Structure 1
């Protein structure tokens, strides 16, 4: 069994390091992917370093320009096909990574033994922009992070975020939205690994009961999430269950915020959920 791990917005394979450690201690093999334009291919610039040159940072070309959601799906499809040659595969995605999971599961259901969404987008009857306008998303604190955006997304071909800001108000907003139950020291360590640019394209894929619906699927709810509100998580779970009533989500809940599942004490509990998912 191999767990293939897909990161969320502004993340990379390093986002899963603590989860991979726990999985290894349980005797499992895992592979964390870098989606196209992330990891070694990301577009860090000297202007993003300290001291920052925000004017130059706002104008620097983006490595994400021209990268699409479909490119990420194609990359993960290739990984899944190659890993499957060595045994069963569980595909895991956090946050925005759920969009890739759905496309991959729709496409190659016979290559996946389970898909696991971690407070992740699982679109059922509408696109992400449409879900963002739903009342279930109204309590999200992601809107408070908009002042972190730098440059013109249309001109850059990507959204650009200054995660290395020293502004205390903006850091407080980041902590509230993403790291509410994580210490500030740990938050700053993670922000140093966040990537500044992210693609504009969310894709338009929704779950296909004929393919996605055949695969056992798990949803890990994060009860204190202030980025993806629990009400939105529950809406997508309920919609998916209505679409595939004979194969509902296996639902687990962790008492943490959006990033908290990767930190002590929740990371060991999260790894245990994955361990049981394999057994199931």
Structure 2
């Protein structure tokens, strides 16, 4: 590990994160989805599940979905875009440049994800009743956020390495939406057939939603979960396995991707991009 590459990567990531606050498109990316979600959830304030507002029961799952989306999709999209415009090739040309580049992207995606969580959670605490707020809840929220990012970001980097065009990243959205639907984000996963529940439990989206619900909702809500339990150990175990798998696979895939990058391949991608614009 090169200390200078780490410093450069941290600085680069922080600068890129600050720049998102001055970019209208990035600001809309922060605010628009949150406003839409809060608008939808506001219609659920009067509906009650186990004595708690239905809106409140949905917010933790949405927070888990936000972490999964940031780690699995946002990082992949950034890498594909910068692979096409030559940013990755320039990073490759600098000693330890790829390592510093990845550090920067980790900082950027983490900052964007934490911002999205804060923008959604703070208004939700005012709009909905039923959250369990305390030191334990905050520590659980922080722990699940860190574990979720560690579990998803390496996989997101791997996904970004496999695609060569921003348009091709749309292929990942359909399975992502499917996972969100079956993972208990907006309604209990126990309403699905058992075989669908098993599929949901393979992927991190379900476990991130479960972990967030365990941190923010009272224990009475466990009755709606599989096995009527928050299953803390299983949550840590599955997300830990995803983290280990990602940390093992991502460096291999990234090295192979970097070796294939050249000026001619970047030029070819730019030509295709210009043809799409025309």
Instruction: Please classify the TM superposition score into its range, dividing by the shorter chain length.
Output: under 0.3
Higher relative contact order by CA 8 Å / sep ≥ 6: 1 or 2? 2
TM-score (norm: length of structure 1): 0.26
Higher strand content, 1 or 2: 1
TM-score (norm: length of structure 2): 0.27
Higher helix content, 1 or 2: 2
**Which is greater in Rg?**
2
